[in-house]
Structure 1
């Protein structure tokens, strides 16, 4: 699907707009402070290859995800990447923006010699699972987690 999305990495100045967008991901979550968000964006960007990625139209942030590139001791020492906190504004869904952003995140991972990109979701909604499959992700593993905070409610 054609779209006119602009993709770039987040900076501290994007903190408030990002926090507004994350409210659609986890409506019941406590909101991060702007200062802490800015600091965490800075810290993520210091990890080689990693970034909070933004998808914008007309300078409005409509979709985001976080890509973390993790050094590795297997697969010949090639790193792997994890995508987290993927969300698209509800009014912008179904237009290919999220898929374009995920493609850009994967391209960034491949540019950093990652041998795989992992993404997990707590959602069981068929539309969410279909979205990730449509973006080229395969449901291929069994995941386990130990939580300190409760799961988000859909």
Structure 2
């Protein structure tokens, strides 16, 4: 994995990121790779916010993974800042290679440097492989999550 680079996502990475997001049964229902305009607009909003880190893992010029890390200042836990990891995706050919762990290690390290007291993430209840992966990395299933589509 010597030539792996984890860097901020750029506009030219958006097609590959969206393809990664769409490359599973859940993502295939939610994402629209044929219309990149909303993704490009979202990237601009993310880039304008210093608390947002959308990164890609690149090897030999090819995007093979992505995640978004959000830094959230808070009042609870004695004014603790926390981070949220979202949108973790690894190219199908790279799954099982250790790349996912490297991306999560990057996110945890960045969270520490940002002064976060806690790193949290959610994963769909149907993603049992992801649950085992996060638990191997030390995450605990500690809460029940709810969503309200708007």
Structure whose residues are more often helix by fraction: 2
Does the TM-score normalized on the shorter chain lie above 0.5?
A: yes
Output the CA distance in 2 between the equivalents of 1:113 and 1:59.
32
The answer to whether structure 1 residue 62 and structure 2 residue 85 are counterparts is: no
Structure-1 residue corresponding to 2:107 = 105
Q: Which has the higher contact order (CA 8 A, sep 6+)?
A: 1
Per mean C-alpha deviation after superposition, the further-off stretch among 31-40 and 90-99 is 31-40
Output the CA distance in 2 between the equivalents of 1:82 and 1:23.
21
Among 42, 66, 73, the alignment partner of 1:71 is 73
Report how many residues are paired: 146
Structure-2 residue corresponding to 1:84 = 86
Is the alpha carbon distance of 1:57 and 1:123 closer, same or farther for their aligned partners in structure 2, counting shifts above 3 Å?
A: farther
| 1:83 positional shift | 1.1
State the Cα RMSD in Å.
Answer: 1.8
Structure-2 residue corresponding to 1:18 = 17
| 1:64 positional shift | 0.8
Output the CA distance in 1 between the equivalents of 2:130 and 2:149.
22
| 1:9 positional shift | 1.0
Kept in 1, the 8 Å contact 2:52–2:71? The answer is: yes
- Gapped regions of structure 1 (runs ≥ 5): 149-154
TM-score normalised by structure 1 residue count: 0.84
Kept in 2, the 8 Å contact 1:44–1:68? The answer is: no
Structure-2 residue corresponding to 1:130 = 132
